[in-house]
Chains A and B, each alone.
Chain A
Amino acid sequence: MIEVQGVAKYFGRFSALRDLSVTVREGEFVSLFGRNGAGKTTLLRILAGLTRPSSGDVRIHLSGPRSPQEARGGMGYLSHNTALYGDLTAVENLRFYANLFDLALDEAELDKRIQLVGLAGREKEPVRNYSRGMQQRLAIARAFLHDPSILLLDEPFTGLDQTGTEFLKDYLSRAHGRGKTCVMAIHDAVLGYELADRILVIESGGVAMDVARRSVSLAEFQQRYRALVKERSDAG
């Protein structure tokens, strides 16, 4: 379970989040919508323990409440930044992270992970030579190498082609099926709607809409979301 209470984050005069409170249940898949600069990335970074909130409190419950800093090992963070070293090969990248996570993964196991994301036969090549889509696939293998129970995703579909998108979608719904908690910031309304249990819209650093997916149809959600964004951009 993730508990966010009255979290605010300022960067000088600019406030990215304002008094935001939300609770994500264990095993829940939450899609975060909102315009660029609405605060989605800041929220995910705060959940990941990468950014310290200016005020407010974040608790991550993984067999007992913890601060995001302590809970790091139980979380995986995937964004459009791949966090891969361009001059290392796929295997070397994964082995580096496996060692840091204290995972006893042998060569065969690492190869299997690479095959799983559809990069078989390229494991001995520097990542720099990969296409953007291939790098993103490897980034998926990297981010979830330690099989975290909370997946934090910031625009994870960026740069993926059709098959890559299908793959990640399939991967995420299986992870969700295995009871993993997912929080995903996304622009694509269809994808975000399909995967989610619950839809959150963040606007100007606060929760502007919070609905269970079952209670709205896709068309209805899209309409409401569009109206909300329009109203906000007219206002601000």
Chain B
Amino acid sequence: MPAKVWTIFRKDLLIELRTKDSLNAMIFFGIVVLVIFNFALEAIRESIRAAVPGVLWVSFAFSGTLGLNRMFAAEKENSCLQGLLMVPVDRGIIYLGKMIAACVFMLLTEAVIFVFSLIFFNLTVWREIPYVVLVCLVGTLGFTAVGALLSAIAANTKMREVLLPLILFPVVLPILVNAVEATAIILNTVDYRQLKLPLTIMTVFTIVFATLAYLLFEYVLED
């Protein structure tokens, strides 16, 4: 089973590294969002550090949605999905491969956006970086666990690109709330023990929805 998840993940990675369609768009859009927030938050320039966690995660979520929308683009071309569905593997395997690919693309994007946010908002962080990486990892896993399932749902509707953010954001709200909370704890306090609660909730969310999506994915692909 892990071998087949790897096969699907590797295929998506290979296509993406060759074309860079999604990654370019995701990174650029993420940076655009940072710049827009820079204007929107002009009034609180003095205390902008407090707003950075929120800005970061809005930017991650927006660029992530862009990537999730593209997730089934390659499968739709030439009806590749049909070929994939003829393969005798559990549909959950396809979900896991796709979800890990989406997660990796999002993490790469987040790394670039984060570096830009350090420059734009004049932040100095070194000691905090391992914790930020941890929060991003858990948050992004949770985000894509739901995102991959809902992207497959949206891909088969007449409004695909428009529909995904509408149905995704209400569902991933717990991830966004806790990720912002956790990032704020890292950037603005010294007491990292407070991280335990948001990280726990995000982990529970991720496990619950990854399991649920693994089981329900076959219904979403059925025609």
Q: What residues of chain A have their CB less than 8 Å away from a CB belonging to chain B?
A: 45, 48-52, 72-73, 75-77, 79, 81-88, 92, 96-97, 99-101, 126, 135, 142-143
Tell me which residues from 1 to 35 in chain B have a Cβ below 8 Å from any Cβ of chain A: 3-4, 7-8, 11, 14-15, 18-19
Q: Are B83 and A52 in contact (CB under 8 A)?
A: no
Known: A83-B80, A85-B74, A99-B4. A72 touches B86 (CB 8 A): yes
Check if B86 sits within 8 Å of A81, measured CB to CB. Answer: no
Q: A81-B78, A99-B7 are in contact. Are A88 and B14 (CB under 8 A)?
A: yes
Q: A52-B223, A79-B82, A99-B4 are in contact. Are A88 and B87 (CB under 8 A)?
A: no
On chain A, the residues within 8 Å of B223 by CB distance are 45, 50-52
Given contacts A88-B15, A92-B14, A100-B4, contact A73 B88 (CB under 8 A): yes
Chain A interface, >50% SS class: mixed
Judge whether B79 is part of the interface by a CB distance below 8 angstroms: yes
User: What is the CA–CA distance of A21 and B119 in the complex, to the nearest angstrom?
Assistant: 69
Interface residue total, chain B, C-beta cutoff 8 A? 24
Partner of B86, one of A75, A84, A88, A96: A75
CB pair A142–B88 under 8 Å, yes or no, is no
Q: Which 10 pairs across A and B sit closest by C-beta, in order of nearness?
A: A83-B83, A81-B79, A73-B88, A99-B7, A72-B88, A100-B87, A51-B223, A87-B15, A82-B78, A83-B80
Select from chain A the residue with minimum beta-carbon distance to B218.
A69
Contact B74 A81 (CB under 8 A): no
Distance A101 CA – B86 CA, assembled complex (angstroms): 10
Inter-chain contacts of B46 with A (CB < 8 A): none
Query: Which residue, of B15, B78, B86, B223, has the highest number of chain A Cβ atoms within 10 A?
Result: B86
* Chain A min CB distance to B176 (Å): 32
- Selected contact of B87 from candidates A51, A79, A81, A101, CB within 8 Å: A101
- Chain B 77-106 per-residue mask, 1 if CB under 8 angstroms from chain A, else 0: 111101111111100000000000000000
In the complex, A26→B19 CA distance in Å? 44
CB distance B11 to A85 under 8 Å? Answer: yes
Given A50-B82, A83-B82, 17 more pairs with CB closer than 8 A:
A48-B86, A72-B86, A75-B86, A77-B83, A79-B82, A81-B78, A83-B83, A84-B80, A85-B74, A86-B78, A87-B15, A88-B14, A99-B4, A99-B7, A100-B84, A101-B87, A126-B18
Given A83-B79, A96-B7, are A77 and B14 also a contact pair (CB < 8 Å)?
no
Q: How far is the CA of A40 from the CA of B221 in the complex (A)?
A: 21
Instruction: Let me know if B191 is at the binding interface, CB within 8 A.
Output: no
Q: Could you tell me the distance in whole angstroms from the C-beta of B87 to the nearest C-beta in chain A? A: 4
Chain A residues within an 8 Å CB radius of B8: 100
Q: Does B42 reach chain A (CB closer than 8 Å)?
A: no
Q: How far is the CA of A135 from the CA of B150 in the complex (A)?
A: 31
A62 → chain B closest CB, angstroms: 11
Give the contacting residue for A99; candidates B3, B77, B84, B222; CB below 8 A. Answer: B3
- Residues of chain B within 8 A of A85, CB atoms compared: 11, 15, 74, 77-78, 80
